[in-house]
């Protein structure tokens, strides 16, 4: 009886679901084509969600059975697919169509604007440093503008595969760019630098500012 109750309690988890986008698949064109968006959100992100949910259930079953080898193997899949879901959700949210404030840079006197200028001297210098960091990602990964609550500092970071920023101890995410090939290859082929340069035209800085305010709890 107790075991059954425990199993029921343990197996109730809130499944991940694919977030709907605040814009249409074609609305980020010409920076990101509708074809890429449809595949990236509808197929790739959906698969991370499905595999995460499936592997959490497998992990629960393995733990209930006391199969620790299977639990350990399955936990890797939970981590990878859960990271894929979290990272893509952040990425969609920090993009916006050009006619909906996409690409509008923050004011130089806003908290995030001041902080960027303090760290990199100018917005252009920040963008150069970010684009260079994206080039340094060999294989699949993500590039981030990160906030470290301990030092109150901004930094540009990269994570590999679907590792999440805070999980790597690299701070809180303010902005992310997916640099897996599936994010750009259909349109930009092998020209990853062109994709990263263009993405600033659809960056939603309002969301970045909101994340910054939340991360530093207005003590910037
Ligand atoms: Mn992706």
Please give the pLDDT value at position 4.
58
Interval 187-200 mean pLDDT: 97
Residue 47 Cα, ligand 1 centroid: separation in angstroms?
Answer: 11
Q: How confident is the model at residue 6 (pLDDT cuts 50, 70, 90)?
A: low
Residue 157 Cα, ligand 1 centroid: separation in angstroms?
Answer: 17
171-191 pLDDT tens trace: 999 999 999 999 999 999 999
Burial of 150 (0-12, 13-18, 19+ CB in 10 A): exposed
Ligand 1 (ion): residues with CB under 5 Å are: 178, 180
The model's pTM: 0.92
Residue 48 Cα, ligand 1 centroid: separation in angstroms?
Answer: 10
Please give the pLDDT value at position 216.
82
Which single residue is written with the structure tokens 């990101």?
A: 32
């Amino acid at each position: 009886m107790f075991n059954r109750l425990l199993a029921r309690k343990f197996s109730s988890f809130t499944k991940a679901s694919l977030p709907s986008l605040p814009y249409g698949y074609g609305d980020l064109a010409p920076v990101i084509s509708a074809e890429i968006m449809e595949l990236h959100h509808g197929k790739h992100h959906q698969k991370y969600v499905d595999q995460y949910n499936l592997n959490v259930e497998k992990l629960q079953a393995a733990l209930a059975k006391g199969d620790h080898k299977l639990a350990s193997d399955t936990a890797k899949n939970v981590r990878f697919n859960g990271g894929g879901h979290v990272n893509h959700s952040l990425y969609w949210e920090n993009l916006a169509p050009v006619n909906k404030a996409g690409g509008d840079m923050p004011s130089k006197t806003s908290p995030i604007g001041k902080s960027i200028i303090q760290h990199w001297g100018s917005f252009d210098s920040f963008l150069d440093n970010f684009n260079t960091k994206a080039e340094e990602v060999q294989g699949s990964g993500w590039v981030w503008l990160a906030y470290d609550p301990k030092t109150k500092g901004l930094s540009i970071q990269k994570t590999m595969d679907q590792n999440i920023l805070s999980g790597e101890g690299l701070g809180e995410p303010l902005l992310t760019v997916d640099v897996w090939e599936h994010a750009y290859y259909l349109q930009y082929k092998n020209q990853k630098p062109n994709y990263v340069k263009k993405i600033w035209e659809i960056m939603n800085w309002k969301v970045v500012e909101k994340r910054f305010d939340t991360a530093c709890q207005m003590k910037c």
